Amino acid sequence: MQLTAPVECGKYFKADRGTLTLASGNLRFESDGRCVFDVPLPSIEKIVWHWYSFSAAFEATIARQNYFLSFIPRMAGFHEWWAALMTGRRWRAAMEGNAAPGSMPLAARLFRVSLQVAQIFIMGCAAILSWGMAMAPDASTLSLLLGLLGAVAAGLGFIALIGRGLIEIAAAFSRHTD
């Protein structure tokens, strides 16, 4: 089995971008056209998968040198973050000699669902507030137009988020019934 993924090596603002490869029991990191390390997995002194990274980053001690390797790129959006979580879980399983996981843990899935519910709630509130601003009896023509436009935009966003949620629910049910 061979795995290759883009990673960032380093913490905080000091991180080198490169490619991490796991092949034939060797872990290799290349950055800026040079090999930073290429070692057999058993020779790694310590590997720590921190709980706060949800398996999307790990710290390895190789030849008494610490490396913090993250599958999550800096300034990642939600979808990049979610993909990095899945990548990290596959890598962790491969490095520990376990089978690849089929899905994310329940806590991560609940977190994702709660974020989506929060988006829908915020868009619904924005639509209601904009509609209320447009219907105020002492509203000027400009306030009326802006309120109506805001209500329409927020309402369409609200409907789109609900539609996307229903599509994801249908896809989840079809995966479990296959």
3-class secondary structure, 40: strand
Confidence of residue 21 (pLDDT cuts 50, 70, 90): very high
Per-residue pLDDT of 156-177, as tens digits, reads: 888 888 888 788 777 767 765 6
**Both 33 and 119 in a single domain?**
no
Question: What pLDDT is recorded for position 45?
Answer: 92
The predicted pLDDT at position 61 comes to 92
Number of domains forming the structure of the chain? 2
Residue 69 has pLDDT above 80, yes or no: yes
**147: in domain:** yes
- Residue 154, CA atoms < 13 Å, CB-side half-sphere: 20
The mean per-residue pLDDT over the stretch 117-132 comes to: 85
Domain extent at residue 153: 106-177
7 close to 71: Cβ distance less than 8 angstroms = yes
**Domain identity same for 135 and 61:** no
- Asked if the structure places residue 126 within a domain, the reply is yes
CA distance 83 to 162: 22
Same domain, 171 and 117: yes
Q: Is the pLDDT of residue 143 over 60?
A: yes
Q: What is the mean pLDDT of residues 49-65?
A: 87
**Distance from C-alpha of 108 to C-alpha of 96, rounded to nearest angstrom:** 21
Residue 91 counted as domain residue:
yes
Same domain (yes/no): 70, 11: yes
Indicate which CATH number applies to the domain containing 23: 2.30.29.30
pLDDT at residue number 47 = 92
The pTM score is: 0.60
Q: With respect to residue 164, please indicate whether it lies within any of the assigned structural domains.
A: yes
Question: What's the confidence (pLDDT) of residue 59?
Answer: 93
| 131 inside domain | yes
Averaged pLDDT for residues 40-57: 87
Assess whether 78 and 24 both reside in one domain. yes
Residue 39, pLDDT score? 92
Q: Are residues 130 and 165 both part of a single domain?
A: yes
Q: Report whether pLDDT(120) > 90.
A: no
The per-residue b/e assignment along 11-42, b for 16 or more CB within 10 angstroms, e otherwise, is eeeebeebebbbeeeebbbebeeeebbebebe
